[in-house]
Amino acid sequence: MTPTHALYTRDLSKYYQTPRGVLKAVNHVDLEVQEGEFIVIMGPSGSGKSTLLALVGGLVRPSV
């Protein structure tokens, strides 16, 4: 049986323009989560975890 993707992203990015230059909050992320699978998103403060969740949740648009 072929696994079913519950979540699938390829080359997902979100950049913000700041006075100091471009901030790459999420930079070319590939992610596959299979149906029934549990994952954990970990990282230090400011590493883009919340931005990634907002992107896959459709709350913000990705950068082109």
Residues shown for the chain: 64
Q: What pLDDT is recorded for position 1?
A: 59
Query: What average pLDDT does range 20-48 have in this prediction?
Result: 96
- How many DSSP H helices and E strands does the chain contain? 1, 2
41 in Cβ contact with 49 (< 8 Å):
yes
Burial (CB count within 10 angstroms: exposed 0-12, middle 13-18, buried 19+), residue 50: middle
Write down the pTM of the prediction. Answer: 0.87
Distance CA 41, CA 52 (A): 9
Q: Is the pLDDT of residue 6 over 90?
A: yes
What is the chain's mean pLDDT, rounded? Answer: 94
- Helix, strand, or coil here: 13? strand
